[in-house]
Chain A
């Protein structure tokens, strides 16, 4: 079962509209993602989608529930708060390098109001195979299955997903989180735990994530499902992670776990 994004997700794109952005939007539309509106100025329609000046108007007109933010560092905090102000449920921020104090304030407000969930900044997006994708990931590498994936690293997640697909193990949803965001990862682990279709939760971090250790300790202590920690410390050879997960799946299915 998918979490966060599925076929019913209605995406509002708040971002720049350069050549690469349009390419990614087209790829998402081709995959079946319901991108319902764009937010920007100066245009009324892009790729056949309506463009609204504000998120509030876009939400009112199209009933969007996911915001996809891809902006320059100076505009990221404002865009997140605009989406939060319009009560968009899920905000996926793919923008990179916002100032730290901006993000601290954004997180404080989000926590206080509790209206929206934020993935990012620096998230690579989220994909539920065969249903919807929000982000620039290559879609063919993902397939449906029981291993929920949470990753702070885009390229490593792609590598793992592709090997999993080749080994015959799929993903209910693959979620990209921002770097060093323990709370964010914790929230997603909880969602996967509540999902009956998810048998294994794979958390992918990298060595440079300073808070990876506390995150893993927390996941192992607080969460009951089998948690396999991927990343360079836990797996000796990345080239066989798909096969490792395949055998882990078989093991989990053959073993009782609470």
Chain B
């Protein structure tokens, strides 16, 4: 599941529309450096990629100007008054491909969850059961119910895969104040979440990547195969530096970008590419590879294994195109070729 993290200030702005009772927060960014007069003695500061800080009013300005130096021009710092709370809760909604749940727990206490059966919300009895675990008055339960309902609506409407409101403080007057929020959005749904897509930063690389500790860069067209390829490298007596999967339905630019990435990685001394194709014809892929490899001034040795649809034609095209470019047809052959290359 591809998900994207939203910065807290984005989560605050989005969730506020769903009647989530946030404490009276304010944002500060590079353009608006005024901390404003919140009429508070102590404030909670939340800045992107920084731990949460609590400061007194007179230190606020100094800390904010320090933090502004560390954040990007389009990022914001959230300032919330520190509210004295009798109890603190954590409320969340999260889902996988086939189930979703709403959960709640008191700080340090047991977690209670209910599965969302229908797409929209919990059934009334589930809501009652969820709230029955908490020692709250009827009024307080009703207020908490409104927050959970808002969370449910936001969860569906914003295509979130996880939202957490934490902490949610209960003050002496029986009111709830949401003091923090985190949110993950389904990347696959960004086509219909235009507003979120606009401010979300997504990793631009068109491939899946994991760093390891060896010196051979492994690339394959699928996560399963690339993991097996890393094992193959191990069987040849070496270790993989990283695993790169370009997926089964890759395009020429995906392959070229992944190849270039491996060429530029410092830890990668050799490149091992293992492609077993179904949708793409090997002949087509071989033409892409040839085009790129012939132009390339790569100094790293490359072992390529190419098989699948139109495998013979593909392999024929790739014979002897560069002295540092080795081609093998089967898994076994590629492992022994790699071994020979490493011994040279």
Interface centre among B1, B223, B229, B249 (most CB of A within 10 A): B223
Does any Cβ of B come within 8 Å of A57's Cβ?
no
Assuming A138-B309, A239-B232, is B331 touching A156 (CB within 8 A)?
no
Whether A100 and B222, one on each chain, are in contact in the complex, defined by CB atoms closer than 8 angstroms, is: no
Whether A24 and B119, one on each chain, are in contact in the complex, defined by CB atoms closer than 8 angstroms, is: no
Whether B332 and A96, one on each chain, are in contact in the complex, defined by CB atoms closer than 8 angstroms, is: no
Would you give the shortest CB distance from B45 to chain A, in whole angstroms?
A: 33
Contact with B along A18-43 (1 / 0, CB 8 A): 00100110010000000000000000
In angstroms, Cα B99 to Cα A105, docked, is 9
Whether A238 and B279, one on each chain, are in contact in the complex, defined by CB atoms closer than 8 angstroms, is: no
Does any Cβ of A come within 8 Å of B248's Cβ?
yes
Number of residues of chain B lying within 8 A (CB) of chain A: 50
Whether A159 and B278, one on each chain, are in contact in the complex, defined by CB atoms closer than 8 angstroms, is: no
Number of residues of chain A lying within 8 A (CB) of chain B: 53
Q: For A136, give the chain B residue with the smallest CB separation.
A: B279
Whether A231 and B224, one on each chain, are in contact in the complex, defined by CB atoms closer than 8 angstroms, is: yes
B192 neighbours in A (Cβ, 8 Å): 74, 99
Does any Cβ of A come within 8 Å of B50's Cβ?
no
Would you give the shortest CB distance from A40 to chain B, in whole angstroms?
A: 19
Q: Is the interface of B mostly helix, strand, loop or mixed?
A: mixed
Q: In the complex, which of the residues B2, B186, B232, B309 contacts A101, with contact meaning CB atoms closer than 8 Å?
A: B186
A157 neighbours in B (Cβ, 8 Å): 224
Whether B189 and A99, one on each chain, are in contact in the complex, defined by CB atoms closer than 8 angstroms, is: yes
Does any Cβ of B come within 8 Å of A258's Cβ?
no
In angstroms, Cα B99 to Cα A181, docked, is 11
Whether A138 and B223, one on each chain, are in contact in the complex, defined by CB atoms closer than 8 angstroms, is: no
B308 neighbours in A (Cβ, 8 Å): 138, 141, 158
Does any Cβ of A come within 8 Å of B277's Cβ?
yes
Q: For B190, give the chain A residue with the smallest CB separation.
A: A99
Q: In the complex, which of the residues B1, B223, B276, B332 contacts A158, with contact meaning CB atoms closer than 8 Å?
A: B276
Whether A239 and B188, one on each chain, are in contact in the complex, defined by CB atoms closer than 8 angstroms, is: no
Whether B225 and A159, one on each chain, are in contact in the complex, defined by CB atoms closer than 8 angstroms, is: yes
Q: In the complex, which of the residues A73, A100, A105, A154 contacts B191, with contact meaning CB atoms closer than 8 Å?
A: A73
A137 neighbours in B (Cβ, 8 Å): 278
Q: In the complex, which of the residues B100, B275, B276 contacts A162, with contact meaning CB atoms closer than 8 Å?
A: B276
Q: For A182, give the chain B residue with the smallest CB separation.
A: B98
Whether B222 and A101, one on each chain, are in contact in the complex, defined by CB atoms closer than 8 angstroms, is: no
In angstroms, Cα B1 to Cα A206, docked, is 14
Whether B223 and A181, one on each chain, are in contact in the complex, defined by CB atoms closer than 8 angstroms, is: no
Does any Cβ of A come within 8 Å of B161's Cβ?
yes
Contact with B along A234-255 (1 / 0, CB 8 A): 0111111000000000000000
Contact with B along A129-140 (1 / 0, CB 8 A): 000000111100
Contact with A along B214-236 (1 / 0, CB 8 A): 00000011111101111110010
In angstroms, Cα B237 to Cα A237, docked, is 12
Does any Cβ of A come within 8 Å of B335's Cβ?
yes
B232 neighbours in A (Cβ, 8 Å): 237-239
Does any Cβ of B come within 8 Å of A98's Cβ?
yes
Whether A238 and B228, one on each chain, are in contact in the complex, defined by CB atoms closer than 8 angstroms, is: yes
Q: For B275, give the chain A residue with the smallest CB separation.
A: A155
Q: For B227, give the chain A residue with the smallest CB separation.
A: A232
Q: For B220, give the chain A residue with the smallest CB separation.
A: A155
In angstroms, Cα B228 to Cα A24, docked, is 26
Contact with A along B131-161 (1 / 0, CB 8 A): 0000000000000000000000000100101
Whether A104 and B231, one on each chain, are in contact in the complex, defined by CB atoms closer than 8 angstroms, is: no
Whether B235 and A237, one on each chain, are in contact in the complex, defined by CB atoms closer than 8 angstroms, is: yes
Whether A135 and B227, one on each chain, are in contact in the complex, defined by CB atoms closer than 8 angstroms, is: no
In angstroms, Cα B232 to Cα A137, docked, is 23
Would you give the shortest CB distance from B125 to chain A, in whole angstroms?
A: 18
B30 neighbours in A (Cβ, 8 Å): none
In angstroms, Cα B193 to Cα A73, docked, is 14
Assuming A24-B279, A136-B279, A162-B307, is B98 touching A105 (CB within 8 A)?
no
Assuming A158-B276, A237-B231, is B189 touching A153 (CB within 8 A)?
no
Whether B161 and A153, one on each chain, are in contact in the complex, defined by CB atoms closer than 8 angstroms, is: no
Q: For B332, give the chain A residue with the smallest CB separation.
A: A239
Whether A206 and B231, one on each chain, are in contact in the complex, defined by CB atoms closer than 8 angstroms, is: no
Does any Cβ of A come within 8 Å of B166's Cβ?
no
Whether B224 and A156, one on each chain, are in contact in the complex, defined by CB atoms closer than 8 angstroms, is: yes
Whether B278 and A136, one on each chain, are in contact in the complex, defined by CB atoms closer than 8 angstroms, is: yes
Whether B97 and A181, one on each chain, are in contact in the complex, defined by CB atoms closer than 8 angstroms, is: yes
Whether A104 and B222, one on each chain, are in contact in the complex, defined by CB atoms closer than 8 angstroms, is: no
Q: In the complex, which of the residues B95, B191, B248 contacts A155, with contact meaning CB atoms closer than 8 Å?
A: B248
Assuming A155-B221, A155-B276, is B186 touching A138 (CB within 8 A)?
no
Whether A205 and B186, one on each chain, are in contact in the complex, defined by CB atoms closer than 8 angstroms, is: no
Whether A232 and B231, one on each chain, are in contact in the complex, defined by CB atoms closer than 8 angstroms, is: yes
**Apart from A101-B189, A154-B248, A159-B225, what 8 extra A-B contacts exist at CB < 8 Å?**
A100-B1, A100-B186, A155-B221, A156-B225, A158-B276, A159-B331, A162-B307, A232-B231
Closest 3 CB pairs of A and B: A153-B224, A156-B224, A155-B222
Interface residues of A (CB under 8 A from B): 20, 23-24, 27, 73-74, 96-105, 107-108, 124, 135-138, 141, 151-159, 162-163, 166, 178, 180-181, 183, 204-208, 231-232, 235-240
Could you write out 27 A-B pairs with CB less than 8 Å apart?
A97-B2, A97-B188, A99-B186, A101-B119, A101-B186, A102-B189, A104-B95, A104-B99, A104-B100, A107-B98, A153-B225, A155-B275, A155-B277, A155-B278, A157-B224, A158-B277, A166-B330, A181-B98, A205-B224, A206-B224, A206-B227, A207-B227, A231-B224, A232-B230, A232-B231, A236-B231, A239-B232
